[in-house]
Amino acid sequence: MPVKVKPITKEDSDYVCSVDLGINNAATCSIVGRDGTVKARKFINPARDIDRRNKRKMMITKKSKQTHKKTGQKFFKGFCRGLYRKSSNINLEISRKVSREIIEFAKLHNVKVIVIENLAGWKAKAGNRGTLMRQKFHLSKIVGSKTPPFKAHSF
């Protein structure tokens, strides 16, 4: 889901908050100066929510294996609908928590600019559509799109 952010002219600042969206940690925030020195760093990893999401994915995997063994047919429309819905909602909640922590970290250090990594062309190479690796990557794309524009927050 592409997001268009209108550029806003702001006063020059000495520090920026750079955000690296990752696979192992949801986000890594760094306060970086003009000369490249790192003032502060924070690793954001909502492990409890990620474990809840992974548990739902494992439940879907287990159910699909049991159903496929008995029937040997394709899954019916709406198979594990509730579990997929819960997993999706957990992903949204994780993205909201991560984006909130990014903004609070930037406010704590009086930073006016937040720079987020662009993952537009990256794609997970291996695995099926529903693997946990793809779930983690999808989460990083959601966080990048859910971070609100900066004019909504006055620093």
Each residue's pLDDT, cut to its tens digit, for the chain (155 residues) gives 677 878 777 667 789 999 988 877 888 999 999 898 999 999 999 988 888 988 988 888 888 888 877 777 777 777 888 888 888 899 899 989 999 999 999 999 999 888 888 777 766 665 555 566 555 555 555 665 655 544 434 33
State how far the alpha carbon of 87 is from the alpha carbons of 81, 104, 113, 136, 147, in Å. Answer: 10, 26, 32, 12, 20
Which residues make beta-bridge pairs with 67?
none
2 in a domain, yes or no? no
Query: What residue numbers bound the domain in which 41 lies?
Result: 15-152
Phi-psi region of 80 (alpha: psi -120 to 50; beta: other; left: phi over 0): left
* pLDDT score of 151: 41
* pLDDT score of 39: 93
1 in a domain, yes or no? no
Q: How many structural domains does the chain have?
A: 1
* pLDDT score of 30: 94
52 in a domain, yes or no? yes
7 in a domain, yes or no? no
Residue 105 to residue 98: CA distance in whole angstroms? 11
3 in a domain, yes or no? no
